[in-house]
Structure 1
């Protein structure tokens, strides 16, 4: 966790903001506490993305669907706030553990047993996500958290609703190293694209390298 910066909120709709967990193309993730003291992760959507009416509508729809995703192998969606005069944000349970990308970077490729554990757990998470009518579209090592209770897939609730680079066109969504061919072509995306990404993620976890190298997109 990093310290809050000038301009960061100290409170969001009753959640106390205590630090920064990360920042990406779509927004900033904060560590927060509920009024009861439970630790949570709060992802605040960037203001320019939030200004797109189509995104706001899809944010609400996908947040509602995200609540139906089974909790056993994902970060449970606890709340989704869409204020009329501010930036929307989602609240999930806080998972205390490194990402798969961080674990491989610091400890090297996973051993056989751990690799099987991650592969099966992520496949189970995708089954739950697809069963709720969502397509992740950005499954990658940094979106898998290795908690003490097993791997958890994160960022499934909004990945279908918004892309950090082309929100308004709803075209190319994902991370190139793990994207299926139909994502590169901006064709219709189905759950099959997530299965492709799952294969690439397992390759990365077992070898320490992306499936098609690390060159330019």
Structure 2
């Protein structure tokens, strides 16, 4: 579904016969198009030409057969919709009225050029429903019923819904995914907005600043077309948007199961035998942590999957893997995991040391920022812990203040939920890229991580600790991705009065490609510390 020529939720309906430009293969042809045409006995259906050289035309369809194809402009042949497009056959398709069913049938005639109905390529007859979307070459049509040809009064048509489906944008290749909101405007890069149009049941993309974004759309198994857009343009599943030199896939997937409430209470059976729960410490996107007393009376932190994810095989496998990785690590700058197990309710849990001083995020809330001397000590601790991981072929992938704890004079890195191997097979992904966008390296957004990706995140954290604010701020994840990939932060403005050698070290840590950064985290931290 693709509507160019939509603006403020309206078709160009009822306009006089304007001249429009049809841009095909770089040429502009003046095409005189009617705003509304009626043939024969009214069927009660209208066909809206919403993309292509005749965009804005409305055909009140008769019960006579209507043919669609590529004919010469000067030919005036009744019962034809003419599409001047080389990807459309001379006789591409027919719309045939079925009297008994009060519906139109789409009969594909072309042997060389495909048609699509509601996004699906068709090669045989298809019964059209109200709100069916027809894609013929680069043109798009919408079929809507105005009234039903029955003896009963007209009645409202129940619109199709997308229940159980959510739409998302994914940074290519295989990079970060962002679920699109139907209630609020979604931002793509700095100048493109994507929003839901309830009347036409589709997402529209609009360029607000003339940055010349483009859409690549498949027209067939081996055919695609690239075209720029500026006015509100409806997106079709499978579209690839090029915005600010980045490419994004527009697609859909089943909605995540809502299941039980993430705030539902755990029953006594859900506890760990021999442990006593004291209070809930916090909750993340997939897990919650409780303060508990172990059998010896020591305070520990017990981490569980959220209730609605307990029966999710992928979530359980990831959680169990996190526990096993953490249990195998022994380093003074990594959190100490004591026990991994399964309780009587078949819930996985991870028991780790309880660090009462809290996280760096908690510390920043109380103190706003840290001195350079304090940050140097933190940097050396974190680099030491990261180097330990990297030497074992692991990448943390989620270095951020809320995952960094304080233990006396030490800084401790925690949360190994998305730790990943650095070999080529496991470091490259083709699906959802996990992490925290404020701290992710440019390559991380594209679905690839390696040890120097953690170095970039560490550099972002160090700047935040010194300045008291995040390096990049944006209203959504995809805008953050654009900033991380394309914009170099002005460190002199963010950190005034900072020695040039320190700024140079941070600048190198925040280089856009891993090859431009330090060879390893410890070398980066030593350069930052001036040793």
Under a length normalisation based on structure 2, what TM-score does the superposition of the two structures give? 0.36
Greater per-residue helix proportion: 1
In 2, the alpha carbon distance for the partners of 1:48 and 1:152 equals 30
Which residue in 1 is equivalent to 2:266? 8
2:444 corresponds in structure 1 to: 183
Tell me, yes or no, if structure 1 residue 110 matches structure 2 residue 388.
Answer: no
Distance in 1 of aligned mates of 2:390 and 2:400: 16
CA 1:147–1:31 in structure 2 vs 1: closer, same or farther (change >3 Å)? same
The two structures, once aligned, show a CA RMSD in angstroms of 2.3
Contact 1:46 1:87 (8 Å CA) reproduced: no
Q: Does the CA contact (< 8 Å) of 2:264 and 2:307 recur in 1?
A: no
Q: Residue 6 of structure 1: CA displacement?
A: 7.6
Q: State the alpha-carbon separation in 1 of the partners of residues 308 and 453 from structure 2.
A: 28
Bigger shift: 36-45 or 125-134? 125-134
Change (3 A) 1:58 1:101: closer
Which residue is equivalent to 2:462? 202
State the match for 1:48 in structure 2: 308
- Structure 2 runs not aligned, ≥5 long: 1-262, 421-429, 478-531
What SS does the aligned partner of 1:67 have? Answer: helix
Shift of the 9–72 alpha-carbon distance from structure 1 to 2, 3 Å rule, reads: farther
More deviation, 50-59/36-45: 50-59
| Alignment CA distance shift 1:120-1:56 (3 Å) | same
Task: Return the alpha-carbon distance in structure 2 between the equivalents of residues 189 and 201 of structure 1.
Answer: 18
Report the 3-state secondary structure (helix = DSSP H, G, I; strand = E; otherwise coil) of the residue aligned with 1:209: coil
SS of the residue corresponding to residue 91 of structure 1 reads strand
CA distance in 1, matches of 2:272, 2:404: 26
* 1:45 CA displacement: 0.8
Instruction: Report if the CA contact (8 A) 2:305-2:319 is conserved.
Output: no
Tell me: CA distance 1:183–1:68, structure 2 relative to 1, closer, same or farther (3 Å): same
Cα offset, 1:179, TM superposition = 0.8
Q: Deviations over 1:121-171 (max 9, x none)?
A: 111111122334432211101111122131111112x2337xxxxxxx862
Give the C-alpha shift of residue 198 in structure 1.
0.7
Q: Give the equivalent residue in structure 2 for 1:171.
A: 432
CA distance 1:173–1:89, change in 2 (3 Å): same
Using CA pairs under 8 Å that are at least 6 residues apart, name the structure with larger relative contact order, 1 or 2.
1
For residues 16 and 170 of structure 1, the distance between their equivalents in structure 2, rounded to whole angstroms, comes to 39
In the alignment, does 2:389 pair up with 1:129? yes
- Answer with 26-35 or 206-215: which moved more: 206-215
- Give the drift of 1:83: 4.9
| C-alpha distance in 1 between matches for 2:309 and 2:356 | 28
Deviations 1:55-74 (CA, angstroms, capped at 9, x unpaired) = 43343344223222123012
Quote the residue 1:120 is aligned against.
Answer: 380
Equivalent positions of 1:30-69 (< 5 A) are 30-69=290-329
Q: 2:419 aligns with which of 160, 178, 191?
A: 160
1-side partners of 2:395 and 2:473: how far apart? 25
Name the SS of the counterpart of 1:19 in structure 2: strand
* Counterpart secondary structure, 1:203: helix
CA–CA distance in structure 2, aligned partners of residues 204 and 31 of structure 1: 29
Equivalent position SS for 2:395: coil
In structure 1, the gaps of 5 or more residues are: 162-168
Please state how far the C-alpha of 1:115 moved relative to its aligned partner.
0.7
- Structure having the higher Rg: 2
* Correspondence for 2:407: 147
How many matched pairs? 204
Q: TM-score, normalised by structure 1?
A: 0.83
Q: Is the 8 A contact 1:101 1:142 kept in 2?
A: yes
- Provide the secondary structure at the position in 1 that maps to 2:458: helix
Q: Which moved more, 1:141-150 or 1:54-63?
A: 54-63
Query: 1:201 offset after TM fit, Å?
Result: 0.6
Which position in structure 1 is the counterpart of 2:333?
73
Give deviations 1:32-71, integer Å, cap 9, x for gaps.
1110111110111123333232343343344223222123
Q: Residue in 2 aligned with 1:24? A: 284
Deviation at 1:214, TM superposition (A): 5.2
Aligned position for 1:164: none
